Amino acid sequence: MSQGIALRWLTASAETATANDFNKHMDLISKKVSVTGVPGFEHIGYDEWAAQCQHEFADHEVQSVHYDGLKMLASTPERVMFKTWETIEASDGAVNAHGVEVLLEMEKDGKWRLLQQRVLPDEESQHDGLIPQ
């Protein structure tokens, strides 16, 4: 069941970002979100995420987003934690790919949203077998 939750969230995240659908994409993100591990940033919160997406989506900078592999870590009835490989292709041809550790939380409205995300160092992604061959 927790794997299905993770896969459905990943599919929705990739589809909404690829479609540049700001409102549907941000509905997948908790207002309490915390992102760490991004080079040059100590922490990214909801407002920073929203501002970045609004800019990128309005300018159609995101060509596609997809996820490869899924390594389940833990789950409770309200939370699901996993790792995956995220690839973001920009409309200018640039590709940003990295492992991410994701924590989803079931919020009071019954929706699963991203609560925490950690961009993984390449060594950890390699160790976890996340990097596609």
Residue 111 lies in a domain: yes
Residue 53 lies in a domain: yes
Among 91, 95, 84, 101, which residue's Cα sits nearest to residue 34? 101
CA 2 remoteness from chain centre: 16
Residue 133 lies in a domain: no
Task: Give the other-Cβ count within 10 Å of 101's Cβ.
Answer: 21
Taking only the tens of pLDDT, the chain with its 133 residues reads 899 999 999 999 999 999 999 999 999 999 999 999 988 888 999 999 999 999 999 999 999 999 999 999 999 999 999 999 999 999 999 999 999 999 999 999 999 999 999 999 999 999 999 998 7
* Residue-level pLDDT at 133: 73
> How many helical (H) and strand (E) elements, i.e. helices and strands, does the chain have?
4, 5
Residue 132 lies in a domain: no
Among 101, 68, 99, which residue's Cα sits nearest to residue 82? 101
* Residue-level pLDDT at 40: 84
Strands 95-106 and 62-75: unpaired
Residue 107 lies in a domain: yes
* Residue-level pLDDT at 1: 87
Residue 16 lies in a domain: yes
